[in-house]
Structures are given as structure tokens and as C-alpha cells.
Amino acid sequence: MTTRFADKSVLVTGGGSGIGRGIALAFAQEGARVAVAGRSAGPLAETVELIERAGGKTVALTGDVTDGQDAARLVWETVELFGGLDVAVNNAGVLGALGPVAEIDETDFRRVFEVNVTGTLLAMKHQIGHMRAHGGGAIVNVSSSLGFHKRIEGAAAYAASKAAVTALTRAAARDHIGEGVRINTVSPGPVDTRMSSRPGEDAEAKTARMKDEVPLGRAGAVAEVAAAVLYLASPEAGFTVGTDLVLDGGITA
């Protein structure tokens, strides 16, 4: 186990599964104290168990980042339990229903933006508020390469929301660049998680589809996304502000 984040306190939203779980595990493996947050206690408990089994220090915090009071509470509970907040990773997000623009359900569209964009905004607002008052920190928002290219038919709401997340991140990065808070995004392409699977698709069919869709010939690994997040949160990225690190196997090359 390396100790790049020893004695650091990290908050990961959407930490109950997939990319969020992988990010939380990676920080814990590098010595961080990790608060994993999400709306459902069951998946968070599974993440906590994995981290503790590997010898890491962690806690589960239930909350909804679309609620401003919850977003604030997640920050102060992390600070209360771990003594501070050095890194925040805003990964909470939803895909929403797929379909052409002319058939998008307005309620579903609003929900996707509420979680993906408003949730990121509220989370950052309270994270920045603490960090700038306590010596700074790093924030990494998880966006998507779908925010600037069309790859999945019918994913207009998700794509638009992730484009907004990337733009919001750049604005926040500039707004707070002189306050010791570095803010960046990672934009994964297709990653080998449940969200990247199509309805009724088995593992073999998914592998074949990825060979066709991704120039590198495969989906990304959760560990690869986690490694990028840890880099952006680390001192090695000290000169990196407002950057969107794209991990898509060459789709946008």
C-alpha cells in the first residue's frame, strides 16, 4: 500500500458502486480516510466492507446531493469524523431514460439535470466553502466524454447534463483559483460498469460491441478512471486547474 494520501480526508459521492466505489477503494489503498456518500445505505455498506477488509479507514454517509442541506451535512460530517476535508470527488449521477429528443419525458430530463448538474453545484458549493477557509484542497468532478460527442443513441439528457458539469467545473475552477482550491474533471468514455451495458446484453455481446465502438478495442477499467482521479487530486497535479481529463480509448482522437 502506498501512502500518497496518508492523513488526508476524502469525500466521494456516488460511492456505493461502479466508478465511485473504485475511486473510494483507490484512495483508501493510498492511505486516505474516505467518506463514501450516497442515497442508499446498502451499497455504501458494501463499499465500506471492501475498504475495511483491505485495512482502510472509512465511513458511510447517506444523503442526497440535490438537497442543499444534505450537501452541506456531508461536508461537515466528514470534517467532524476525520478532522478535515482535503479532497472531494463528485461522482453521483444518473443516466436517465434513453430515447430521441422529440420523445424525452420532461420529468426525467429535469431529474437527470437535478442530480448530475444541480447536485454537483451544491456539493461543490459546500466543499469549496470549507476548503478555502481551511487551507485549500482539490475537487474532481466526474463528467463524461458524452458531453462533447455523440456515441449512445437517445442519451441527450445525460450528454447535455455532462457538458454542463464540465462547463460548471471550469467556471468554478476560475472563480476559486486564488483560494487554494483546485477543481478539475475526468470524462470517461465507456467503462466496464453496469451503466455501460445495454438492456438484455450479456458480457460476450458487450465485449464485442466495445471492440466495434472503441478504437482501443475495449471498455475502460474502473481502476483506470480511479487512477486519473487520484492524479488530479494529488500534489503532482498542482499546476492543473480547470482541466478535463478524457479517458475514452481514442473515441475523440
Q: Note if 231 is an active site residue.
A: no
> Which of 118-127, 182-191, 194-203, 205-214 bottoms out in mean pLDDT, i.e. has the lowest?
194-203
Which of 193, 86, 76, 64 has its CA nearest to residue 126? Answer: 76
Per the listing, cell 467556471 goes with: 171
pLDDT in tens, 221-238: 999 999 999 999 999 999
Tell me if 4 is assigned to some domain.
no
Tell me if 82 is assigned to some domain.
yes
Reported as a pLDDT band with limits 50, 70 and 90, residue 250 is: confident
For residue 100, the one-letter residue type is P
CB 6 within 8 A of CB 32: yes
Of 152 and 253, the structure prediction assigns the larger pLDDT to: 253
Give yes or no for residue 155 having a pLDDT over 80: yes
**What is the CA angle 122-187-112, rounded to 5?**
45
What is the structure's pLDDT at 223?
A: 96
pLDDT in tens, 98-131: 888 999 999 999 999 999 999 999 999 999 999 9
Tell me if 197 is assigned to some domain.
yes
C-alpha cell at 172: 468554478
Tell me if 253 is assigned to some domain.
no
What is the structure's pLDDT at 34?
A: 98
What is the structure's pLDDT at 151?
A: 63
Range of the domain at 115: 9-247
Tell me if 58 is assigned to some domain.
yes
Contacts of 212 (CB under 8 A, 6+ apart): none
What is the structure's pLDDT at 201?
A: 64
> Looking at 23, 88, 158, 226, which residue is catalytic?
158
3-state DSSP assignment of residue 88: strand
What is the structure's pLDDT at 87?
A: 98
Domain at 177, CATH number:
3.40.50.720
Q: Give the bridge partners for 246, in sequence order.
A: 187
Tell me if 122 is assigned to some domain.
yes
The phi, psi pair for 11, rounded to 5°, reads -115, 125
Number of domains within the chain: 1
Reported as a pLDDT band with limits 50, 70 and 90, residue 207 is: confident
Tell me if 252 is assigned to some domain.
no
Alpha-carbon distance of 37 to 65, in angstroms, equals 9
**What does the pLDDT average to over 174-191?**
94
Tell me if 1 is assigned to some domain.
no
Of 153 and 135, the structure prediction assigns the larger pLDDT to: 135
